[in-house]
Amino acid sequence: MVEQGENLLQAAISAGVRVYASCGGAGTCGTCKVKIESGEVATTRTEKLSDEEYQQGIRQACQSRVMTNLSVYVLVESRLEKVVLASEQKRVSQVLASGWRFKPPLSKYFLELSPPTAEDNLSDLSRLLRGMRRRYNLSHLSVDFYVLKKLARALRKGKWKVTVTTLVTASKPRAGEERRPRVINIEPGDSREKHYSLAFDIGTTTICGQLLELNRGKIVAEHIAYNGQISYGNDVIARINFSQKPGGLKKLQKATVATMNDVIEELLATSRVDAKHIGHLMVAGNTTMTQILLGLETKYIRLAPYTPLANFFPPVEAASLGIKLDKHVHLYTFPAVASYVGGDIVSGVIGAGIHQRKTLTFFMDIGTNGEIVIGNSDWMVTASCSAGPAFEGGGVKHGIVASEGAIEDFDIDHASLEPKIDTIGGKKPKGICGSGLINIIAGLLEARVIGQNGKFHRTLPTKRIRKGSDGYEYVLSWAKETQIGRDIVVTEVDIDNLMRAKAAMFAGFQTLSKSVGIECRDFEQVIIAGAFGNNINIEKAITIGLLPDLPVDRFIFVGNGSLLGARLTSFSTDLLDDARRVAQMMTNIELSESADFMNNYIAALFLPHTNAREFPTVSKRLAKISK
């Protein structure tokens, strides 16, 4: 039931219809377009609707209020569809962390206890602890109160044979003290074979989960879904703003948990594992996502001097957040470094093993909020560069997230200027994804269709370059060849948006490396994380100046680094401790405070860069083409 006057976007979300709304319903992005087939809405019209669209009954859902019963068609490009799964990605993620001991923080112990007698009338708990001491030499256990509630029954139901689950947390014991594992669960009988945990990456755009088997250290299942928060805004700032509205934080928190529950349900269904055998939940996310998940105030993340609520969050009972898992399951979140360098980056660093080697590494996580880390096992500096949503298709006229029908590869005939495009899944094109946009811009630059400033050479002899409603554009695909029935174009505004995104990343890299006195060529490896990162064509990304001009063999992809780290720490207590250490050793450099950053940024707003010397091989190639 929808009330008259209710916002159409909100109504759609409540009804479970997934509509893309990258600005969070502010009316500024024009991604939530729907067609009103019958019925009436009251709409505030913005410049995001062309006359033609308006006449066809197309409206921005977020700017429309429901006035009568409606029949609404969600335009193809406004739908949130399945994200490209990891299995379809071109490259396989690499586990770079090495040499770690397989010793999960979550352990199961089987005990056969002697029943109490008149001579041996110890309490149930003391009996249990004596068993753990004698059998496993574990004497410093603490016991969760929840276990006491189950204890008497479990011991007797299992005829004094029980399985005890313990958890160690990352808090480092003081010197000389032993670690004190917590007893978090007790089950009758021997359930050691049913020993699972979950690893999650809570991204601003997507949520990705893995079901892990802890006896053998295997991934049993993996699933990814759009973060339910996406309809409330495209980036963390939009989310923080939304969380300040009455009930906003609660809505965001619920949306995340709902998505996590969907993912968990899917993981359990595909693997036929029972939810009660999951004993732990390891979550990596950026600072904002982490705080929203925990239902904590996020306001001060976006206000100078940008303070997170905490760097280390104590483990939380997962069920208390609404996650459909047993009461004993704790949710552990990765420690954060700063407001814009969160647990996902710490997790990525752990997954990539940067803290284990002397190799001088440049680590970048490419996403809406790009984070970069420079360093090795001895030191690390980090910064966050607000790249904006262009890499994920936001702020791009025909931009969409990487899904079927997204243009991802592009080639252009230098003589006829005719394009050759490939889409994900080989489907008819319906938009352009971030990696596609990089390839398109690199192709247009090399074919001299655009200049180094990203502007079209308007007088070239092709009908594909024309003036459109957003300025000059190049037609990638004529209407009849597409799924959306309109010409798919790349506009100067799109190019400009991607240039800003890449300039923010590269300027961040330059500023950060200069702050520690390191030259670009000194980097022995460049590790690229981020689900989007996996589909990047390195050479093209260098051509447009997103990645530094280094030999291609120095680049390594780790895919979703945040998820990787969450998995590895689920397998190794050592890495869990490392995560805490890494979060403490990383020095955050606030780029907004750096005078150099703005200068570097303007210099990077050029293809590939204002300083040709930063990109010697690209400059040489471009010079050759122009001759």
| Contacting residues toward other proteins, per CB under 8 A | 451-453, 457, 599, 602-603, 605-606, 610-612, 626
Between residues 44 and 599, which has the closer beta carbon with respect to other proteins?
Answer: 599
Q: Least distance from C-beta 18 to other proteins, angstroms?
A: 41
In contact, 490 and 398? CB cutoff 8 Å: yes
Element holding 43 (H helix, E strand): strand 41-43
Q: Least distance from C-beta 567 to other proteins, angstroms?
A: 42
Would you state the structure tokens that stand for residue 408, as one six-digit string?
Answer: 């991802």
3-state class of 82 per DSSP? coil
106-112 vs 142-143, strand pairing mode = unpaired
Between residues 219 and 460, which has the closer beta carbon with respect to other proteins?
Answer: 460
Q: Least distance from C-beta 296 to other proteins, angstroms?
A: 41
Q: Which residues contact 352 (CB under 8 A, 6 or more apart)?
A: 96, 97, 361, 363, 527, 529, 556, 558, 561, 564
Q: Which residues contact 16 (CB under 8 A, 6 or more apart)?
A: none
In contact, 512 and 345? CB cutoff 8 Å: no
Between residues 458 and 480, which has the closer beta carbon with respect to other proteins?
Answer: 458
Q: Least distance from C-beta 508 to other proteins, angstroms?
A: 16
Between residues 360 and 520, which has the closer beta carbon with respect to other proteins?
Answer: 520
Q: Which alpha helices (H) appear in 60-212, and where do they start and end? A: 124-136, 145-157
Q: Least distance from C-beta 463 to other proteins, angstroms?
A: 20
Sign of CA dihedral 116, 121, 123, 129: negative
In contact, 110 and 195? CB cutoff 8 Å: no
DSSP 461-524: S-TTEEEETTEEEEEEE-GGGSSSSS-EEEEHHHHHHHHHHHHHHHHHHHHHHHHTT--GGG-S
Q: Least distance from C-beta 512 to other proteins, angstroms?
A: 19
For residue 164, which amino acid is it? V
Q: Least distance from C-beta 604 to other proteins, angstroms?
A: 9
Q: Least distance from C-beta 606 to other proteins, angstroms?
A: 5
Between residues 502 and 580, which has the closer beta carbon with respect to other proteins?
Answer: 502
Q: Which residues contact 495 (CB under 8 A, 6 or more apart)?
A: 441, 444, 450, 454, 455
Between residues 518 and 612, which has the closer beta carbon with respect to other proteins?
Answer: 612
Would you state the structure tokens that stand for residue 324, as one six-digit string?
Answer: 């459909």
Q: How far apart are CA 255 and CA 449, in angstroms?
A: 44
Q: Which residues contact 365 (CB under 8 A, 6 or more apart)?
A: 344, 345, 348, 371, 372, 529, 530, 533, 561, 562
Would you state the structure tokens that stand for residue 356, as one six-digit string?
Answer: 């284990």
Q: Least distance from C-beta 452 to other proteins, angstroms?
A: 6
Between residues 35 and 514, which has the closer beta carbon with respect to other proteins?
Answer: 514
Q: How far apart are CA 595 and CA 593, in angstroms?
A: 7
330-333 vs 488-491, strand pairing mode = unpaired
Q: Least distance from C-beta 462 to other proteins, angstroms?
A: 17
Between residues 100 and 597, which has the closer beta carbon with respect to other proteins?
Answer: 597
Q: How far apart are CA 333 and CA 324, in angstroms?
A: 17
Between residues 387 and 605, which has the closer beta carbon with respect to other proteins?
Answer: 605
Q: How far apart are CA 20 and CA 78, in angstroms?
A: 5
Between residues 329 and 604, which has the closer beta carbon with respect to other proteins?
Answer: 604
Between residues 161 and 448, which has the closer beta carbon with respect to other proteins?
Answer: 448
